Amino acid sequence: MIRLERRPSPSRFWTALTPVLAVVATMIAGGVMFAALGKDPFEAIRTIFWDPIFNEQFAAFSRPQLLVKAAPLILIAIGLSLGFRAGVWNIGAEGQYIMGAICGAGVGLAFYPAESFVIFPLMVIAGGLGGFLWAMIPGVLRVAFRTNEILVSLLLVYVAEFMLASMSLGLLRNPEGAGFPGSRNLKAYPSAHNAELIAGTGMHWGVVAAFVAVIFAYVLLSRHMLGFQIKLAGQAPRAARFGGVNPSRLILFCLGISGILAGAAGLFEVSGPAGQISIDFNVGYGFTAIIVAFLGRLNPIGILLAGLLMALTYIGGELAQFMLGVPAAAIQAFQGMLLFFLLAVDVLSNFRIRIGRREVV
């Protein structure tokens, strides 16, 4: 008989080992799936995990792309993780990401075609502000009327999507675009272009911001009073209140900071890799970032690694699709397995497995 015994505190050893275990388990289960699809499992797994980083033909391009793909995920997930730790559930980062992109791109396009070094910093500020204000809607509603921020922030995603459609068809539409939707391409507007800082490295300002956010969150959580309050509010809300934590201020701070980071991620994306505001500019980074946040155990360093791992499965999955003809759905199932195993092996860090009879008390 196998039974689980709760550990007094999570095991450090297992917390460090479980992610590796999960990746191995995914490789085995995924390998079985690929074999069932008639593909060579070893080749498929090598293509997903190895080729993006080391393949001669691709790596020079796809290695930097890992940073490009991971940066918005990390940036958004860092913001979300602060709230999640404090019990503030911002599910609508996708909407804040969109609003940041709209506001930031809007500021940039308002200056077109003037060239000045102040344009890009202004766009970043506008992007962060857009995300901040969009996140303040659920924040203020929760503080003032005790509405549920999960529902409000989620539903505002759909509102933001309609705003995005409206902007690409109306206000921000490219006047030289022959009636097609979508804004001017910011890549063709040097002052507003979030270009690679060093050619061929994938490093753009968004990647820099993601690394800064990781460091900032790490310091906040380990060294700062506010970080302590965040952790306390999540683990023991009553104790936090007695300890002098102002819950309203904490809610607004958590939603605000995640809104700013999501908005900035949107701006860096629209002015860099995406290039333009278009109807389907958003591809779900705001939702994937929730997974990344939990995958990284709400820990800044963990989130950094989790973001890179997610990016790897995306890019490796793309390679596997067209190199080996693996269907897109199989890649999604593979990613799902990875998440499943990562969460499932969590049991090992929180519980001790006992084999044998239950002792009679």
Partner 1 sequence: MKRRTILTGAIAALGLATGAALADGHAKTKVGFVYVGPVGDGGWTYEHDQGRLAVEAEFHDKVETIYQESVPEGSDAERVITQMALSGADIIFTTSFGYMDPTNAVAAKFPNVKFEHATGYKRNTPNVSTYSARFYEGRAVQGHIAGKMTKTNKIGYIASFPIPEVIRGINAAYIHAKKVNPDVEFSVVWAYTWFDPAKEADAATALIEQGADVILQHTDSTAPLAAAEKAGGVIGFGQASDMAEYSPSPRVSSIIDNWAPYYIARVKAVMDGTWESVDTWDGIAPGMVKIGEITDAVPADVKAEALAMRDQMAAGTYHPFTGPLKKQDGSDWLADGEVADDGTLAGMNFYVEGLTGDIPN
CB of residue 267 to partner 1, shortest distance in Å: 13
- Structural contact between residues 120 and 271, judged by C-beta atoms closer than 8 angstroms: yes
- Structural contact between residues 345 and 64, judged by C-beta atoms closer than 8 angstroms: no
Nearer to partner 1 among residue 184 and residue 297 (C-beta): 184
Distance, in Å, from the CA atom of 265 to the CA atom of 104, rounded to the nearest integer, reads 10
CB of residue 101 to partner 1, shortest distance in Å: 10
CA distances in angstroms from 340 to 29, 30, 94, 274, 343, listed in the order given: 11, 12, 23, 30, 5
Q: Does residue 260 sit in helix, strand or coil?
A: helix
Nearer to partner 1 among residue 81 and residue 276 (C-beta): 276
CB of residue 63 to partner 1, shortest distance in Å: 12
Q: Does residue 63 sit in helix, strand or coil?
A: helix
Question: Which residues of the shown chain bind partner 1 in the complex (CB under 8 A)?
Answer: 56-58, 61-62, 65, 68-69, 161, 165-166, 169-170, 173, 178-181, 185, 187, 269, 272-276, 278-283, 314-315, 318-319, 321-323, 325, 327-329
Nearer to partner 1 among residue 201 and residue 248 (C-beta): 201
CB of residue 319 to partner 1, shortest distance in Å: 6
- 351: its two tokens: 């519980």
Buried b (16+ CB within 10 A) or exposed e, 218-241: bebbeeeeebbbbbbbbeeeeebe
CB of residue 265 to partner 1, shortest distance in Å: 12
CB of residue 119 to partner 1, shortest distance in Å: 21
Nearer to partner 1 among residue 189 and residue 341 (C-beta): 189
Distance, in Å, from the CA atom of 99 to the CA atom of 130, rounded to the nearest integer, reads 5
Nearer to partner 1 among residue 62 and residue 90 (C-beta): 62
